[in-house]
Structure 1
Amino acid sequence: MAVVIPYGGGLDDLREQLTALAEQTWPHPYEVVISVNRGQPTPVHNLARHILPDHVTLTIADSTRRPGPSHARNVGWRHTTADLILFCDTDDVVHPAWLTTMTHTLTEARIASGTLEYRKLNPPWKADLFGTGAYSQPVRFHHLPFGPSCNLGLRRELLERLGGFSEDLPCAEDTDLCWRAAYAGAPIAFAPSAVVHYRLRSTSRALFGQYFRYSRYDVRLYRAHRSHGARVHGAEILRELAVAGKALLNAPRGRRHRARCAISWGTVLGGLLGLLTQGPRARKRPAPSPTASPTGPV
């Protein structure tokens, strides 16, 4: 079994994640593959070797040839021969039972995901924006459930069959991968006790940028998967506009309202740009959906 971590910077965050992996309840040897997508591999190697115990094999993969998490994850899982591949991110923290739970789930399923928890790494006012939906599998476009790449596991044979993550997707390649797995007869299994503590963006500006980027490519996601049943209802678009308008009026009331406003307007403006810039070609290409935080603010 191997854990793949795409690395694009942030040694302090990586230290927290590696410490969490070192404290896993899983009693057997396993491998950690860190796919360095930006920066130098030597500091990453030195940090990981200092933290990880002796029974954990460390592999450093160079994925700097092409920027982006999809490429980093693909390079990472192809650098291991493990039959089970788990994915987590640099800036989150896995629960001590994460390895055990995900591995046991994948003895029955071919693809699995778990719970995202927001309170451990974020202030309560910000965590509350994301509600209880984080404790269930998200669904996009009234279609199929999916799992975020920061808490995802697959059997190797399925990854190879699907060709891994699509490297043409700027973000939310995990949604596309999970849906393609379902089309191939491998619906995703949900393991509620496989918990990853998720780190939210620290500022309203960063939240705006994150949701702008997600929403921009929702058009591509929908067009790529509507033949399989993805649906958009006009009333939902109107509701989103109404929510954004209300959020803008409430923004002066404090940081919680400013964060909500940033998320709402990032979603609206990103979707508008997607509609304006993504033409008929997008029908032939798979596309992403918001997954870094699979459930939006309530």
Structure 2
Amino acid sequence: MPPPRYDRRVAPDTSPDSARVPAVSVIIPAYNAARTIARQLDALTRQHVDVDWEVIVCDNGSTDATSRTAQSWADRLPLRVIDASARRGPSAARNAGADAARAPLLAFCDADDAVTDDWLSGLLPVLGAHPFVVTAARVESAYSTPDRRLYDVVTTLRMPFLPELPFGSSSHLAVSAEAFTRVGRFDETLRTGEDVDLSWRLQLAGYAVTECREAIIDHSRRAGFFATVRQFRGYQHGRRALQHRYAHVIDAFTAARGAPPGADGDWEAGVVSADQSERSDRPASRRERIAMYLRDRDERRQFLLRATRSTRLALATSLGLFLGRVTGRIDTTQPQVPASLARAYLERERPFERGSR
């Protein structure tokens, strides 16, 4: 008899056989997520997979109804809610979820996003064959308006100062429990950039990143001007910390490359998609876009809405990055990654003999 399929019509298996080890643990860190987590859990009820799996919601000390809201989905999902408040921060919550996980495969997603219906069925075959997988994130474009939604789809990203090592966001990456434990899990001392750090440590340890475009999550942008400022200020703090931590690795790659990696610009300019993003269908050139938007009243209104939103987003991003540069402090007591790991990677992978991946 095949294992149960978890969707809207079938409740979790409560028979004694349900104690068997699940194939994958879906880990969701949550802090004061009562208003958003239902969307993610509802999306998870629509997964169709013929294996046992589990969902672990890691409540990181919420003061709202996060735990109660998540627990209310236990009759529709193979779900557990754990107390992950002993150590604060999303990295600590994810690590607590990994500690509680029973599966050999770990898939991380966020409480304010939503997986698509075939996310898990698209991910599992790839994750079963590759220990480190970055799935796709569909992000609403700054050009969107309420009347016309536009999206970009991205998988891995790259830092300008270490472009040979792509990374994945913690909101849409998956890893084998063995690899995750071997490299030391998420670093809880990093407030931001912990997903970049984990991605780099995995690759330096020999776990190549594999992209899975068949598994998609709908990523939610931070709402509001000041929330975006805070987000990008944190990104800049994380970037500075990573540049210090990986200084010897960066030097080793620069020496092997024979030239600097390129302009070390701001976060938005420097963090780029490892492959071309799949962009929404719109005219390629600015002149073509303006001509289209000015054809009639509706197009003019759409144009003005997009311009206003894009300008606000750009301003919030720039302000956040500036504040991050001004207020960021590097803890020089933190250990740096030794150059020997970079040299071992370069000897093993020889990226400059075939071009950067």
Q: Match for 1:167 among 152, 168, 188? A: 188
Deviations 1:85-118 (A, max 9, x none): 1000000000111111221111211110111112
C-alpha distance 53-19 of structure 1, shift in aligned 2 (>3 A): same
Q: Quick one: percent identity of the two aligned structures?
A: 27
1:13 aligns with 2:36: yes
C-alpha distance in structure 2 between counterparts of 1:82 and 1:88, whole Å: 16
Equivalent residue of 1:196, what SS?
strand
C-alpha distance 40-205 of structure 1, shift in aligned 2 (>3 A): closer
1:272 maps to a residue whose letter is V
Native 8 Å contact 1:22 1:52 kept in 2 = no
Native 8 Å contact 2:43 2:116 kept in 1 = yes
CA-CA distance at 1:256 after TM superposition = 2.5
Q: Match for 2:333 among 263, 281, 297? A: 281
Native 8 Å contact 2:140 2:151 kept in 1 = no
1:197 aligns with 2:249: no
Native 8 Å contact 2:91 2:188 kept in 1 = yes
1:138 aligns with 2:161: no
Equivalent residue of 2:85, what SS?
coil
C-alpha distance 206-49 of structure 1, shift in aligned 2 (>3 A): closer
1:148-187 superposed matches below 5 A: 148-187=169-208
CA-CA distance at 1:81 after TM superposition = 1.8
CA-CA distance at 1:125 after TM superposition = 4.8
1:39-188 superposed matches below 5 A: 39=62, 43-44=65-66, 46-52=68-74, 56-119=77-140, 124-125=144-145, 132=152, 134-140=153-159, 141=161, 142-188=163-209
Equivalent residue of 1:117, what SS?
strand
C-alpha distance in structure 1 between counterparts of 2:334 and 2:171, whole Å: 26
C-alpha distance in structure 1 between counterparts of 2:105 and 2:243, whole Å: 30
Native 8 Å contact 1:87 1:149 kept in 2 = yes
C-alpha distance in structure 1 between counterparts of 2:46 and 2:268, whole Å: 42
Q: Match for 2:320 among 245, 266, 278? A: 266
Q: Name the larger-Rg structure.
A: 2
C-alpha distance 38-106 of structure 1, shift in aligned 2 (>3 A): same
C-alpha distance in structure 1 between counterparts of 2:43 and 2:121, whole Å: 13
Q: TM-score with structure 1 length normalisation?
A: 0.80
Native 8 Å contact 2:143 2:309 kept in 1 = no
Native 8 Å contact 1:19 1:52 kept in 2 = no
Equivalent residue of 1:71, what SS?
helix
C-alpha distance in structure 2 between counterparts of 1:139 and 1:264, whole Å: 19
Which of the pair has the greater relative contact order for Cα pairs under 8 Å at 6+ separation? 1
Q: TM-score with structure 2 length normalisation?
A: 0.67
1:16 maps to a residue whose letter is R
Q: For residue 29 of structure 1, what is the aligned residue in structure 2?
A: 52
CA-CA distance at 1:162 after TM superposition = 1.5
Deviations 1:200-250 (A, max 9, x none): 011111101100111022111012123223777684448989xxxxxxxxx
How many residues end up aligned between the 2 structures?
267
C-alpha distance in structure 1 between counterparts of 2:127 and 2:335, whole Å: 33
Native 8 Å contact 1:240 1:268 kept in 2 = no
C-alpha distance 22-260 of structure 1, shift in aligned 2 (>3 A): same
Unaligned segments of structure 1, at least 5 residues: 242-252, 287-298
C-alpha distance 85-279 of structure 1, shift in aligned 2 (>3 A): closer
CA-CA distance at 1:147 after TM superposition = 0.9
Native 8 Å contact 1:14 1:91 kept in 2 = yes
C-alpha distance 226-239 of structure 1, shift in aligned 2 (>3 A): closer
Native 8 Å contact 1:166 1:177 kept in 2 = yes
Equivalent residue of 1:174, what SS?
helix
Whichever structure has more helix as a proportion of its residues is 1
Deviations 1:126-160 (A, max 9, x none): 9x9x984x424101122411111111111111111
C-alpha distance in structure 2 between counterparts of 1:3 and 1:78, whole Å: 12
C-alpha RMSD of the superposition = 3.0
C-alpha distance 157-268 of structure 1, shift in aligned 2 (>3 A): same
